Chains A and B, each alone.
Chain A
């Protein structure tokens, strides 16, 4: 069906898959015990803003909900635009569970308003010998590791090691071609 849609020029964007987002919660324990990567107390969610008043309403609601929820969990948050005009909600909290909850809240609200297709990714920072990120791709509903080395290079061997150890715990993006890098992550 997707091929047929493509041939007719009607291909649409895949819907956001939310189910596996929470998998990072349990995986974070293994990451710490067997690899020595602690949760970096920060997470982010990145999406493409849209030109429409419906979107403005959705964004206001996201911020209202965030304000309320962050007061509850004691999370600090900020909303910022990056160099490519993508919007980031950056969350900071020593409690990893609260980060996951709030990331879920933001993405869920956007999906409910019909902007799930515009979700680029959710990112969790982990710190060990090096800073690594686990990136959640909403299109495939899977995670992949991203270890930037500075100067737009990535530490591929570390990424592959992370994959081989976490493969059983996290829904992993199988196709390494979809391990899209993200430079200039604001967290």
Chain B
């Protein structure tokens, strides 16, 4: 078993644990953290693939994604804080306005 396969498995594990975190957890901060987990899982996958096939596009893409993730966390945290301040919500089960 090559070491790259272990990286891929780890990246799948990271992605899935982030995904389940998004599905199961209700706290908005936890949701954001889980999203970060998913993104980093994907990043790990991309870099591992690069290593396997000997390319560089995956690493470039991973860099872009880091940037996007940083921006997203900034905006996301801002939104969470704003919602908390405005409505007093801290769990996603209270935000059901999408239905209406």
> Does chain A bind chain B?
no
Residues of B within 8 A of A (CB): none
